[in-house]
């Protein structure tokens, strides 16, 4: 099976988004010190509290060491050789509408299939596009404003809603949280800010598309989503980067806050450049994502499809503080060629009757190393807490690896926690069964892989589900038929 | 005491994340001197009757007691050469430096032996047991720890075993320590081609216990069954880290753990299985389950798989929960007192492990041991 040509074709397709946009940029010289932090803050015209917050993070970061516990091997990162700010040059302070955005930028997003033009209403998705360090455009602003929804770039939020930022920024992922989150807190450049007021159901899906373009830069975006009492939002995130021989660092932080009866659905299709077949180049994707269910009956759902990046280090988690709150994590992670993924989730149960579900599917191919690392922690206050975890791994090839490191820590005797996992290759029996019914080998493999991932794909919004399936090169038709 | 070669593990060490390291740091590891003759005589008189068909060897504070033991033809003074698998060397090195005696058991080719090792700790001891099974040999070893002292005893035990080609090894351990005891043990197993090993362990008592075990499938077609249960009560802490390495093709490992944490106790188990690239056709199964019955009890389980080849079938499951209220109600509605009903359900919970015992003498011994921890369970089972 491992020698199967179609299977190799399936997992060996080239990176589709590796082009570079030739655009004039303003880029800070490489290096990191307090001056760089102050400069970024000055460029963004930030209030004093934010500058101080950044500096506090930077000083703390100097005292930290890179974490080494992940099941990955990475070349050491020279943090002084990275440029911490790069932005496309604009004539004025910022584009007032899409007409003022550089056409080459718009072309880039057209190539990527991101609907920036509001005329693409059929897509029905409001998009914030982040190019290197800054947001270049946000669509459907008017319609969202009518509903009371704030959806803007982080830079805009700093100017227009500083009180909300001061209240929520760092309240879920504190600046001292970990090495990469701390670095992000010091140098983050842009990102998205979402606020859904009380009782509002966001009229459309929100989406941010991240693109790294410039060489020798890192991307440190920050996303903050606050869903006030009784509100609902579905947020999508996508990302790509050019093919380069160097490793580029992406260290983002995402914070979600859900108040009473609120619901946040956060979906990611991560397709950063994974490096070539020999592991040269690719993005180091070291991301901290965490949601806090602060209110009663709140719900946060993470869905991720991880196909890109040379190294992925990412554990989207939920802190279930409110009574009856619910955390969910659905993940498909593919590690092909020399990719390494150490990903999973953390579910921290604090409130009574909190529930969490974890479904993780790992696919390893070539020399890829895929690790699921998950923590389910039930504190003594979490009366009647419930967790179910399922993590399965599929191996394609005798040189890849699939690893599972779950942590189950329970301090309340009324809690019930269940974890189950399996690791296997594509079953010869399943394949034979399909083949002897006249299904081609390619369709059979597609069908089996699709069936393996189905429980995650069904959690994705439709547009992303299609993109995710394309990324995994799996045809849905076979499975549906 | 001479300086140690390595630093003591810390909670930041993944292998020691759940161990009660503060308790261990307070432990005094200075070994006790050889017990006087009258103490040996007193202990010999207090020992339970030897198991039928088993030779007996008694270790008192780490010294092999010739008075209490039945003469054994197969103990040896020759060191048994064992490669070092253990990455957690602190307590192993401590044992090597401070051990008073080493019990060496060697079973010759195609020989069959049954041995009972009784371990008695009165102070601080570093017992060492080295075992070698030659080709086709069979050894059934029962290791019993008897709580004959109410003092705060400290034991740092090391067991090395090499299971030869097509040999069969059954190690049944009943670790029943006194309430103030601190119990640390390091176990290393090397499994040769076609060998079959069964490991059972029941841990009760002890203020803190920690098992660090490393097993390696060095030969193809070897199999290992690892069944362990721990019952915590009071403020006890029972922690185990078991690493199994598959380094040869077609090896099988089945790992089961059942833990019950009552009162304010903590029970934890980490099962780490690694399948190397040169170990295709491996089969690994883990089932780790814990029951929490105390309002402030804690259970931590980590079923871990590290798979580096695709020709493998691996699965694991872990649960932590409470006694099933429906089952409890069923028993209560049939007139069984609550304590007995609860004990019976706990008994059923750990019987997943106990039923794997093939030797009736060992089983009776463990059931006897369990009855003291789960009062009323035997009576409820038999309907008396």
Give the Cβ contact number of residue A9 at 10 Å. Answer: 12
Last residue of a domain, one of B306, B322, B338: B322
Residues B218 and B358 in one domain: no
Q: What is the pLDDT of residues B215-256, one digit of tens each?
A: 999 999 999 999 999 999 999 999 999 999 999 999 999 999
Residues B169 and B215 in one domain: yes
Residue B370 zone, left/alpha/beta (φ > 0; ψ -120 to 50; rest): alpha
Report chain A residues whose CB lies below 8 A from the CB of B325. none
A-B contacts (CB, under 8 Å): 111
Residue A337 zone, left/alpha/beta (φ > 0; ψ -120 to 50; rest): left
Average pLDDT over residues B199-227: 94
pLDDT band at B380 (very low <50, low <70, confident <90, very high): low
Last residue of a domain, one of B322, B343, B365: B322
pLDDT at B124: 93
Cβ partners under 8 Å of residue B368, min gap 6? none
- Per DSSP (E only), the strands in A76-165 are 86-88, 125-131, 134-138, 150-153
Contact B305 A421 (CB under 8 A): yes
Question: Which residues partner with B146 through β-bridges?
Answer: B120
Question: Which residues partner with B230 through β-bridges?
Answer: B203, B259
Residue A3 to residue A6: CA distance in whole angstroms: 9
Q: How far is CA A458 from CA A299, A332, A351, A391, B35, in A?
A: 18, 12, 28, 16, 69
Report chain B residues whose CB lies below 8 A from the CB of A402. 305, 307
Report chain B residues whose CB lies below 8 A from the CB of A423. 305, 307, 312-315
Residues B19 and B90 in one domain: yes
Contact B292 A393 (CB under 8 A): no
Report chain B residues whose CB lies below 8 A from the CB of A373. none
Residues B318 and B328 in one domain: no
Residue B109, in any domain of the structure = yes
Exposure string of A170-193, with b = 16+ CB inside 10 Å and e = fewer, is bebbebebbbbbbbbbbbbbbbbb
pLDDT at A118: 46
Report chain A residues whose CB lies below 8 A from the CB of B298. 409-411
pLDDT at A120: 46
pLDDT band at B2 (very low <50, low <70, confident <90, very high): very low
Q: What is the pLDDT of residues B24-59, one digit of tens each?
A: 888 888 888 888 989 989 998 988 888 888 899 999
Residues B296 and B359 in one domain: no
Residues B227 and B273 in one domain: yes
Q: What is the pLDDT of residues B112-162, one digit of tens each?
A: 999 999 999 999 999 999 999 999 999 999 999 988 888 889 999 999 999
Higher-pLDDT residue of B318 and B6 is B318
pLDDT at A2: 40
Report chain B residues whose CB lies below 8 A from the CB of A424. 312-314
Contact B321 A424 (CB under 8 A): no
Residue B82 to residue B164: CA distance in whole angstroms: 12
pLDDT at A366: 84
What's the predicted TM-score (pTM) here? Answer: 0.88
Contact B299 A414 (CB under 8 A): no
Closest Cα in chain B, distance from residue A10 (Å)? 17
User: Which chain B residue lies closest to A400 (C-alpha atoms)?
Assistant: B308
Last residue of a domain, one of B305, B322, B339: B322
Residues B23 and B128 in one domain: yes
Residue B318, in any domain of the structure = yes
Residue B3, in any domain of the structure = no
Contact B312 A424 (CB under 8 A): yes
Asked whether the predicted pLDDT for residue B66 surpasses 60, the reply is: yes
Which H or E run contains A290?
strand A282-293
**Domain boundaries, position B362:** 324-384
> Helix, strand, coil % (nearest 5) of chain B?
20, 40, 40
* Environment class of B10 (CB within 10 Å of its CB; exposed 0-12, middle 13-18, buried 19+): exposed
pLDDT band at B373 (very low <50, low <70, confident <90, very high): confident
Closest Cα in chain A, distance from residue B133 (Å)? 33
Asked whether the predicted pLDDT for residue B258 surpasses 50, the reply is: yes
Higher-pLDDT residue of B40 and B379 is B40
Half-sphere exposure in the Cβ direction for A31 (13 Å, CA)? 8
* Percent of chain B scoring above 70 in pLDDT: 92
Residues B236 and B343 in one domain: no
Residue B86, in any domain of the structure = yes
- pLDDT per 10-residue tile (average), chain A, 481 residues: 49 58 72 94 93 97 91 87 79 54 62 53 59 64 87 91 95 95 94 94 86 76 96 87 75 97 93 81 92 98 89 95 97 88 96 96 89 96 96 87 95 95 86 90 78 82 69 39 27
Residue B8, in any domain of the structure = no
Suggest the residue from A375, A409, A413, A421 to mutate for an interface test with chain B (most B CBs closer than 10 A).
A413
Residues B233 and B348 in one domain: no
pLDDT at B148: 85
Residues B282 and B301 in one domain: yes
Closest Cα partner for A400 from A423, A377, A429? A423
Count of structural domains, chain B: 2
Residues B182 and B38 in one domain: yes
Residue B140, in any domain of the structure = yes
Closest Cα in chain A, distance from residue B128 (Å)? 32
Residue B177, in any domain of the structure = yes
Among B307, B310, B321, the residue with its CB nearest the CB of A416 is B321
Phi, psi of A101 (to 5 degrees): -80, 140
Residues B103 and B251 in one domain: yes
Residue B354 to residue B352: CA distance in whole angstroms: 6
As for the ipTM of the complex, it is: 0.89
Report chain A residues whose CB lies below 8 A from the CB of B292. 410, 412-413, 415
Suggest the residue from A368, A385, A421 to mutate for an interface test with chain B (most B CBs closer than 10 A).
A421
pLDDT at A431: 85
Residue B298, in any domain of the structure = yes
Beta strands B223-232 and B252-261: pairing type?
parallel
């Amino acid at each position: 099976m491992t020698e199967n040509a179609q299977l190799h074709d399936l997992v060996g397709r080239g990176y589709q988004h590796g082009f570079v946009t030739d655009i004039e940029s303003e880029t800070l010289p490489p290096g990191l010190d307090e001056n760089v932090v102050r400069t970024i803050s000055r460029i963004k015209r930030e209030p004093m509290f934010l500058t101080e917050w950044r500096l506090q993070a930077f000083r703390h970061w100097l005292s930290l060491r890179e974490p080494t516990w992940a099941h990955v091997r990475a070349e050491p990162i020279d943090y002084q050789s990275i440029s911490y700010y790069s932005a496309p040059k604009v004539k004025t302070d910022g584009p007032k509408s899409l007409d003022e955005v550089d056409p080459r930028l718009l072309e880039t997003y057209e190539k990527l299939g991101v609907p920036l033009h509001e005329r693409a209403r059929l897509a029905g998705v409001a998009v914030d596009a982040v190019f290197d360090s800054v947001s270049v455009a946000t669509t459907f602003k008017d319609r969202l404003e009518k509903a009371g929804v704030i959806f803007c770039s982080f830079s805009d939020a700093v100017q227009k809603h500083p009180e909300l930022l001061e209240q929520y920024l760092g309240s879920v992922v504190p600046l001292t949280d970990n090495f990469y989150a701390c670095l992000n807190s010091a140098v983050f450049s842009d990102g998205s800010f979402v606020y859904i007021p009380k009782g509002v159901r966001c009229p459309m899906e929100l989406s941010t598309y991240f693109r790294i373009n410039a060489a020798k830069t890192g991307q440190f975006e920050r996303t903050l989503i606050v869903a006030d009492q009784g509100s609902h939002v579905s947020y999508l995130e996508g990302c790509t980067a050019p093919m380069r021989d160097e490793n580029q660092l992406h260290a983002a932080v995402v914070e979600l806050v859900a108040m009473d009866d609120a619901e946040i659905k956060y979906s990611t299709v991560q397709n950063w450049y994974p490096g070539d077949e020999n592991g040269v180049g690719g993005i180091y994707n070291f991301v901290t994502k965490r949601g806090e269910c602060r209110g009663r009956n709140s719900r946060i759902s993470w869905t991720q499809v991880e196909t890109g990046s040379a190294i992925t280090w990412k554990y989207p988690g939920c802190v279930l503080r409110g009574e009856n709150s619910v955390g969910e994590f659905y993940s498909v992670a593919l590690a092909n060629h020399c990719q390494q993924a150490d990903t999973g989730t953390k579910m921290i149960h604090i409130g009574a009757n909190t529930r969490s579900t974890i479904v993780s599917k790992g696919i390893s191919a070539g020399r890829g190393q895929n690790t699921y690392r998950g923590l389910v922690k039930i504190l003594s206050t979490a009366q009647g807490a419930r967790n179910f975890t399922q993590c399965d791994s599929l191996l394609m090839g005798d040189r890849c690896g699939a690893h599972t490191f779950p942590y189950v820590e329970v301090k309340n005797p009324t809690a019930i926690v269940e974890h189950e996992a399996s690791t296997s290759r594509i079953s010869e029996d399943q394949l034979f069964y399909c083949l002897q019914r006249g299904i081609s080998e390619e369709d059979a493999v597609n069908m089996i892989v699709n069936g393996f991932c189905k429980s995650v794909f069904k959690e994705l919004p439709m547009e992303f589900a299609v993109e995710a399936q394309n990324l995994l090169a799996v045809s849905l038709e076979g499975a549906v038929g | 005491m001479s300086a140690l070669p390595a630093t003591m593990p810390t909670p930041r060490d993944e292998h020691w994340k759940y161990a009660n390291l503060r308790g261990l740091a307070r432990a005094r590891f200075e070994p006790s001197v050889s017990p006087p003759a009258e103490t040996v005589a007193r202990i010999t008189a207090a020992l339970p009757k030897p198991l039928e068909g088993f030779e007996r060897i008694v270790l008192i504070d780490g010294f092999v007691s010739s008075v209490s033991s039945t003469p054994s033809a197969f103990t040896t003074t020759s060191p048994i050469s064992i490669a070092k698998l253990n990455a957690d060397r602190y307590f192993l090195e401590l044992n090597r430096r401070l051990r008073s005696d080493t019990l060496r058991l060697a079973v010759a080719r195609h020989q069959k032996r049954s041995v009972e090792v009784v371990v008695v700790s009165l102070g601080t001891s570093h017992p060492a047991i080295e075992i070698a099974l030659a080709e086709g040999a069979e050894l059934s070893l029962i290791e019993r720890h008897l709580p004959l002292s109410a003092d705060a005893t400290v034991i740092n035990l090391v067991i090395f075993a090499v299971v030869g080609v097509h040999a069969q090894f059954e190690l049944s351990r009943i670790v029943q320590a006194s309430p103030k005891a601190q119990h640390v043990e390091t176990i290393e197993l090397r499994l040769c081609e076609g060998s079959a090993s069964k490991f059972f362990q029941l841990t009760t008592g002890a203020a803190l216990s920690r098992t660090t075990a490393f097993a390696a499938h060095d030969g193809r077609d070897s199999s290992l069954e690892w069944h362990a249960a721990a019952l915590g009560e009071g403020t006890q802490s029972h922690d185990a880290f078991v690493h199994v390495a598959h380094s040869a093709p077609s090896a099988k490992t089945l790992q089961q753990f059942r833990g019950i944490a009552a009162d304010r106790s903590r029970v934890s188990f980490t099962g780490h299985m690694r399948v190397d690239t040169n170990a295709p056709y491996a089969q690994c199964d883990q089932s780790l389950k814990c029951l929490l019955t105390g309002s402030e009890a804690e259970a931590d389980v980590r079923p871990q798989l590290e798979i580096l080849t695709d020709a493998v079938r691996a699965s694991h499951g872990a649960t932590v929960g409470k006694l099933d209220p429906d089952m409890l109600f069923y028993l209560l509605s049939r007139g069984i007192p609550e304590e007995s009903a609860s004990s019976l359900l706990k008994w059923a919970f750990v019987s997943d492990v106990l039923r794997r015992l093939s030797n009736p003498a060992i089983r009776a011994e463990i059931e006897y041991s369990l009855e003291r921890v789960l009062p009323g369970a035997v009576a409820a089972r038999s309907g008396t």
